[in-house]
Amino acid sequence: MTTALRPIHATKALLIAIGRAAIELLKGIGECAMLSRQANHALLHDRQRWEVVVAQLYSIGYLSLPIVLVTGVSMGLVMAVQAHATLVKFNAEVMSGPMVMFSLTTQVGPSMTALLVAGRVGSNIAAELGTMKVTEQIDALRVMGTDPVSYLVMPRVLALTLLLPVLGALAGCVGTLAGGFLLVTLWGVDGGAYWFQTQRFVASWDVLTGIAKCPVLGFGIGLIACRQGLLTRGGASGVGESCTKAVVQGSMFVLVMNFVLTLLSNKLYFLIYG
């Protein structure tokens, strides 16, 4: 290959890679949309096996609670340290409260909780459904007249959608309390002024929009993990690959959707309040 042709072939290979990635992205979005329609139909029309839903609520919610609380406390302490280090230069350390709570309730709490759930729960769902797929248990469900989407997908997606707002709110609460304890109790910031400024500058809208992100993020994480599990091929190695894809794609969905929802909430705020 001549030197003059190398840039042309490199550009061609890059365009091919971009095209394939775009096609895979559109294919994944379409498959998730179809799976979402099937799950919603199963929720509205099929007989519900509430024992399966309750089991998923326990597995997804209760077992995720320790890591979510630890992360909330850690994020609250980190935000408090950074806010205090910045604002003390201007003798405005009492304004650390609004900064900590606003960041936790609107961004850090929902997004960090969703990322943790995508890693812990998303990988577990993909591994569970992937193992069932390669061992032909899903085919056995179809033979017995049981819809795999109704029995396997819907309970997991529903549990994630319902529980992620609770986990996100708890992470924000414990993070705010941890930051307040550090600044007020240990570092001597005036407690009355600290909490007064927090109440003054953090509105109910901020808290509600932060929590409102969580059902959307939970729904998407559940769909992505279930899709990867149902697409598993190739035995044990395929199960591991599905887990990796579920975590990566779920995390990317959280980051992108958090940005989109933040823009939408800001636009909506200006439309309502001016």
- Is the pLDDT reported for residue 96 higher than 80? yes
Average pLDDT for 5-31: 83
Q: Which pLDDT belongs to residue 253?
A: 95
- Mean pLDDT computed over 143-160: 90
Give percent of the chain with pLDDT exceeding 90: 51
Residue with tokens 């990566």: 248
* Helix residue ranges per DSSP H, the chain: 6-45, 50-57, 65-87, 96-103, 109-117, 123-134, 137-143, 148, 154-180, 191-201, 204-230, 235-273
pLDDT of the residue at 5: 60
Give the model's confidence band at 123: pLDDT under 50 very low, under 70 low, under 90 confident, else very high: very high
Among 76, 84, 154, which residue's Cα sits nearest to residue 113? 76
For range 85-107, the mean pLDDT:
89
Query: What is the rounded CA–CA span in Å between residue 129 and residue 142?
Result: 14
Quick check: 232 and 242 in contact, CB under 8 A? yes
- At residue 59, the pLDDT reads 87
Tens-place pLDDT, residues 49-62 = 788 888 888 988 88
**pLDDT recorded at residue 273:** 80
- Confidence (pLDDT) at 21: 85
- Across the range 221-246, mean pLDDT stands at 90
Question: So what's the pLDDT on residue 93?
Answer: 87
Q: What is the mean pLDDT of the chain?
A: 89
Task: Find the farthest-apart pair of alpha carbons in the chain and give their distance in angstroms, rounded.
Answer: 75
* Of the listed ranges 203-207, 260-264, 270-274, the one predicted with least confidence: 270-274
State the pTM of this model. Answer: 0.90
Give the model's pLDDT for residue 2. Answer: 58
Per-residue confidence at 4, pLDDT binned at 50, 70, 90? low
d(CA 236, CA 131): 8
